[in-house]
Amino acid sequence: MIRALLLSLTLVNAQAWAQAYPTHAVKVVVPYGVGGPADIYGRFLATKLQESLGHPFVVEDRPGGGSIVGTDVVAKSPPDGYTLLVMSNTHTVNETLIPKKPFDLMKDFAPITGINSSDLLMVINPSVPAANLKEFIALAKSKPGVLNYASSGPGTPYHMAGELFKYMAGVDIVHVPHKGSDQARTAVLGGQVQMMFDAITTMSGQARAGKVKALGTTGKRRSNVMPEVPTIAEAGVPGYEATIWLGLMAPAGTPRPILEKLNAEVNKIINAPEVKETWGKQGAVPMGMPVDEFGRFLQEDIAKWSKLVKATGMKVD
């Protein structure tokens, strides 16, 4: 009887806390570099949450270690809803790729919801003597270990897209990790690195401007952002598919009513007709879902990437 009463009082207190939440600024940690999809959409979401909840949502970019540096900051933060994490499939990959991390994703964090997903765009520097994907594959096969590709760090969607491409196309291309996607992008634009898989939401403008050559998109169907560019599957690597998605999490132990409140606010924002229309033109699709459904999605994604990591023998030095 007493235990039930205490539980009831705890629940009432938590709900009251959530109704008042937030009462001051909320920090939104983006564990990637400035200018990438997580930074762009994280800032968009922070602005909208500030408008709807009446207190600042301040984005803090903390890149490094393929998202591990910034993620660990959130893992060690108080579970009070005032420090949030913008995460991606980098995190689900790293559960297998980098087992010796200072945190465990599903034990040290609480799911809130998905944000959006988008295709990647495979691009090469204009100096590379290849006009299409088949020519690039032929060039790579003729020069094993000579060509290279950039990523924003181990386990990131850019890295995994590159490793999946190598595995399925049967080519030996050297991975060159960077601290953030902005640095990786700059390296390809400058010609220091030959190739990169980048979010189509970020790289399509550079391709249209002729600063890079687009060889393929990574979805099942051609992107409405660049419909003139074939998918990698149709251009020379049958069955190839890779995407980038973003989500929102909080430190484990964050009161459930706060998670639910954030879930409702984020889903309302990303499902607004004007947001869907704007994101659609950029190649991004909203992927909001209930808290528990997002938790299941994360578990399934961890299992999916675990199979690829083990099949390819990928390791991080």
pLDDT(3) > 60: no
**CA triple 294-111-5, angle to 5 deg:** 115
Quickly state the pLDDT bin for 62 (edges 50, 70, 90).
very high
Quickly state the pLDDT bin for 6 (edges 50, 70, 90).
very low
Same-domain pairing of 86 and 136: no
pLDDT at 14: 55
Percentage with pLDDT > 70 across the chain? 94
Burial of 253 (0-12, 13-18, 19+ CB in 10 A): exposed
Same-domain pairing of 152 and 62: no
Same-domain pairing of 111 and 249: yes
35 assigned to some structural domain: yes
4 assigned to some structural domain: no
CA distance 38 to 204: 16
If you average pLDDT over every residue of the chain, what do you get?
92
Domain carrying residue 59: 11-118+245-312
Instruction: Dig out the tokens for 80 from the structure.
Output: 């009070």
Residue 173 carries which side chain, given as an amino acid letter?
I
Same-domain pairing of 301 and 204: no
DSSP 12: H
Same-domain pairing of 102 and 129: no
**Beta bridge partner(s), residue 197:** 122
Same-domain pairing of 249 and 103: yes
Q: What is the pLDDT of residues 103-141, one digit of tens each?
A: 999 999 999 999 999 999 999 999 999 999 999 999 999
Last residue of a domain, one of 235, 259, 288: 235
Last residue of a domain, one of 203, 235, 267: 235
CA distance 173 to 130: 15
pLDDT(7) > 60: no
CATH number of the CATH domain containing 273 = 3.40.190.150
Residue with tokens 């937030």: 22
Q: What is the pLDDT of residues 142-185, one digit of tens each?
A: 999 999 999 988 888 899 999 999 999 999 999 999 988 889 99
Instruction: Provide the domain count of the chain.
Output: 2
